Structure 1
Amino acid sequence: MAFSIRLFVFILLLMFSSNPMIIMAKEIKYNHNSETISEIKEKVDFTILTPRKIPNDWILDTKTSPWIMLLYMNSKDTKLMIAIHLRKGFPLSNEDFPHSQQVDINGNKGYFHKWIDSGEVDKNGDTITGGLLNWVQDGTYVEMNSSRFSKEEMLEIARSMK
């Protein structure tokens, strides 16, 4: 019996050390009786993309009308960290975002526009940063916004979406 347990542990260690691409799925914490990502996927006819690079303690609030909204809140559920809006994709062009900076997100043309009051301090004493990021990936239109994360941090989260 002890040998079989040691063998099992050895095989697990071997699998994880020899294949760095294995990633353990983390449990998503939901709030406000939100529908789960799995439930939402069953209701729509487009790909639901979710970020992989987010802190473990964030809480997800989902809304499904008029489009899919993924609202990632801080661990105390008091501050919106990132909002992601999803709907069936449609072609984007430079004319749609004349004042935005073009960016690459997973090989897709995206557009970033910083907030007009970026760098100012809001009523809660937080410095406004970030902006609005738009792109189409796997047939899904994605609009991400944040006033708490920089453009680079938003792009890192956007590029982790699968």
Structure 2
Amino acid sequence: MAFSFRLIFVLTLLSCSPMITMAQEIKYNHNSITISEIKKKVDFSVLTPNKIPVDWTLDTKITPWLMLHYMDSTDIKLMVAIHQKKGFPLSNDDFPLAEQVDISGNKGYFQKWVDSGEVDRNGDTITGGLLNWVQDGTFIEMNSSRLSKEEMLEIARSMN
């Protein structure tokens, strides 16, 4: 009886919080090159999140930065952008207005958007902000206006 209750509770909890799940397979869009192809072209460690919704798609670009743009299931809304390049040391002076956060033992800096809480022209409430850190020699800049700070940190902490 107690086991059945726990099982139902866990299943209910999982179905009510689908935001972050383990991705089974990356769904690329816009003729993006794959992560394995990107790793052959750059001179730094390419880090990808392990915890993203399974229905998001990924648009990749290599310019001066490696850009990973995770789009919603309709491929219309940018959910989170993760930009990477060869790392360099960060200091508190680089982000004087940001809150210091821990990302898997790495010092990170989070700053919410100035217009956070306002409604954009599409009727969506602006959340999230800008998150920066260095991990495994790679500088990472993550931004989102759709995800909360906590959701962004969960994704950041799943990167390897």
TM-score, normalization by structure 1: 0.84
2:111 maps to what in 1? 113
Corresponding letter in the other structure for 2:92: N
Q: Secondary structure at the match of 2:111?
A: strand
Matched residues in 1 for 2:126 and 2:84: separation? Answer: 24
RMSD over aligned CA atoms reads 1.0
Matched residues in 2 for 1:115 and 1:39: separation? Answer: 33
Runs of 4+ in structure 1 off by over 6 angstroms are none
Number of residue pairs the alignment of both structures matches: 139
Matched residues in 2 for 1:45 and 1:109: separation? Answer: 22
Q: What are the Cα deviations for residues 19-76 of structure 1, in whole angstroms up to 9, with x where unaligned?
A: xxxxx87211001110100000001111100001100010000010121000000011
Q: Is the Cα–Cα contact under 8 Å of residues 23 and 52 in structure 2 kept in the other structure?
A: no
Q: Which runs of 5+ in 2 are unaligned?
A: 1-21
What is the CA distance between 1:159 and its match in structure 2?
A: 0.2
2:130 maps to what in 1? 132
Corresponding letter in the other structure for 1:143: E
Larger radius of gyration: 1
Q: Secondary structure at the match of 1:124?
A: coil
Q: For 1:4-153, list aligned pairs within 5 A.
A: 26-153=24-151
Matched residues in 2 for 1:158 and 1:143: separation? Answer: 10
